[in-house]
Amino acid sequence: MFNNKIKKIECLENLVNLQTLVLSFNEIEEITGLSKNVNLKKLDLNHNFIRLIQNMENQKDLTYLDLRHNWITEVTQVEHIADTCTNLKELGLKCNPLANKKNYRMLVFNSFKNLQKLDAQAITDKDTETGEQYSKELTWDMVMDHLRSQKKNFQMDKIMSDENEDEDSQAGSQQNSWERQVEELILNHMQICRIQNLEKFTNLRKLKLLNNNISVIPGLENLRVLEELSLEKNKLTGI
């Protein structure tokens, strides 16, 4: 059914033995209507208008998924595929906005246990080396980038020190003034391997550190107002 003007996946619920479905070059905006097609092994949706990946819960047998040339922007969208399509071996995401992200291949491969190919290319030693190279510690700059990207409504001027102060006093002022204002940190897929000074975020209510390389997380016991914690897909052996 490729190269039509299909806008919605529907009327396939009786095809329970369907194993291959090709819907490329259409006008599909979301993945729907496949809940009964539990035997699908190959799903081709390249060249559509998909922005959000969802409704894949019943695709346990899927081994090939092609989503190239869509409008998927965030690596976090890939998490739904990784969590639901556990037998996936090949995934196509090329020519989506997310494929322009730095270390895109590494970030995607880190989300899957069994993925063998991304955009028709197998995982390479370079992918592995890149992952090790970019493992890093949680830093002040990383947190500030997160806050700016999330457009949090607290006064950035209170966090930044006076430009006339020397670097040492500036660093001390920053450290003493900004942590208590932070109520939410979402730093998924950042290759973070080490966290320090977490206990200083005394008003933190949401902490998400999915898909990093964290093995220990000191200071967690001091976050007494924390309401939501996500640490999946790290290297933790205990808390």
Please state the domain count of the chain: 2
The candidate with the shortest Cα–Cα distance to 44, out of 11, 87, 92, 6, is: 92
Looking at 68, 97, 131, the residue that finishes a domain is: 131
Domain range for 174:
136-230
Helix or strand run (H / E) with residue 51: none
For residue 5, is it within any domain? no
What is the predicted pLDDT for the residue at 163? 39
Note whether 60 and 117 are same-domain residues: yes
For residue 156, is it within any domain? yes
Looking at 110, 131, 152, the residue that finishes a domain is: 131
| Cα–Cα distance, 33 to 20 (Å, whole number) | 15
What is the predicted pLDDT for the residue at 31? 94
Looking at 91, 113, 131, the residue that finishes a domain is: 131
For residue 161, is it within any domain? yes
Half-sphere exposure of 84 (CA within 13 A, CB side): 15
Read off the CATH number of the domain in which 67 is found.
Answer: 3.80.10.10
What is the predicted pLDDT for the residue at 151? 55
Note whether 74 and 96 are same-domain residues: yes
Note whether 122 and 144 are same-domain residues: no
For residue 14, is it within any domain? no
Note whether 95 and 193 are same-domain residues: no
pLDDT, tens only, 200-237: 888 999 999 888 878 888 888 889 999 999 998 888 88
For residue 2, is it within any domain? no
What is the predicted pLDDT for the residue at 3? 77
For residue 9, is it within any domain? no
Note whether 109 and 205 are same-domain residues: no
Note whether 144 and 54 are same-domain residues: no
For residue 95, is it within any domain? yes
Give the N- to C-terminal CA distance of the chain in Å, as an integer: 50
For residue 13, is it within any domain? no
Low-confidence ranges of the chain (pLDDT < 50): 152-175
